[in-house]
Amino acid sequence: MKANLSTLRYIVAVDTYRNFVKAAEACGVTQPTLSIAIRNMEEELDVTIFNRNSHPVRPTPLGKKIITMARAALRSASQIEELVQSEKGEDGGEVFIGTIPTVAPYVLPGLIREMRVSHPKVKMKVAEMRTGVLIEKLRSGEVDMAIMSTPLEEKDLLEIPLYYEKFLAYISPDDEFYAKDEIAADELPTDRLWILEEGHCLRSQVLNFCHSGRHMH
C-alpha cells in the first residue's frame, strides 16, 4: 500500500468533520483532491472506509479501525519531527489542549501567554469540550492534554492535579440554611440545587458531594 501521511490526514479530517467539503477546507486542499486520494486508498486496499450515503458521512466498522491506526501513525510522525527538532535544539511542533468550559476562561489566558513566551515556535490548538468527549479524544490521541475537574478515575490516563477549589453554597437570605455558618453536604436539598446539566463533570461531583456528608461553608 502506498498511502502517505497526507491521505491519512484526509481520512482523519473526514472522520472529524463528517463532511468531505469541510475536511478539505481544514486540510487546505480542494474537495476533489481529498476525495480522490481517499478513493484511491480504498480501491488499493479493496475496502470502504466511509459510507458516503449517510448524512453526515460515517466510517464503516472496518473504517473505524483504519482511522484509529491512521491517527496513531500521524501521532508517531509528529513525534519523530519533534524528536529531530529537540535533538537539534529547536523548539517547534504542535500541541492540542482540550478543556472543560467551566475552567477555560480562568486557566487558558495565562497558559497561552506562558506558552507563547516559553515556547514561541510551538503551535497551540485549544478547544472546549465536555468531560466525556475529552476523555474519548485523549484516548484516541486527538487531544494531547486536557484540563478537567478531577478525580476522573480513568486508570489509563495520567492525572496531574493543577490546583484545588472549595465547594461553596450560595443561599438565598430567605432560605432556612442562610443563618448557618456550616452546612453538612447531605443536608442540602438536591431537588432545589441549581447545577450543570447532564454530561458536565461538575454536576456529578456536586451530587456525590451532597451524599458524602462532608461540610460546606
What pLDDT is stored for residue 1 in this prediction? 58
154 domain-assigned: no
Q: Are residues 126 and 57 in the same domain?
A: no
Residue 37 cell numbers, joined: 486520494
Q: Are residues 67 and 105 in the same domain?
A: no
Q: Are residues 199 and 179 in the same domain?
A: yes
205 domain-assigned: yes
Torsion of CA 54, 55, 60, 61, to 10 degrees: -110
Nearest to 210, CA basis, from 112, 27, 50, 193: 193
Of 56, 83, 110, which one is at a domain's C-terminal end? 83
Q: Are residues 79 and 98 in the same domain?
A: no
Q: Supply the CATH number for residue 112's domain.
A: 3.40.190.10
What pLDDT is stored for residue 51 in this prediction? 93
Domain range enclosing 32: 5-83
Instruction: Give the count of domains, the chain.
Output: 3
Nearest to 42, CA basis, from 72, 26, 62: 62
Other beta carbons within 10 angstroms of residue 100's beta carbon come to 21
Return per-residue pLDDT of the chain as tens, 217 residues. 567 899 999 999 999 889 999 999 988 899 999 999 999 999 999 999 999 988 899 999 999 999 999 988 988 888 787 777 777 776 677 888 999 888 888 888 998 899 888 888 888 888 888 888 888 888 877 888 999 887 777 888 888 888 887 777 788 888 888 888 877 777 777 677 777 777 666 777 777 777 665 555 4
C-alpha span between 217 and 215 (Å, rounded):
7
155 domain-assigned: no
Q: Are residues 196 and 128 in the same domain?
A: no
Q: Are residues 12 and 73 in the same domain?
A: yes
What pLDDT is stored for residue 181 in this prediction? 80
Q: Are residues 111 and 71 in the same domain?
A: no
What pLDDT is stored for residue 12 in this prediction? 92
Q: Are residues 9 and 79 in the same domain?
A: yes
Q: Are residues 15 and 67 in the same domain?
A: yes
Of 57, 83, 109, which one is at a domain's C-terminal end? 83
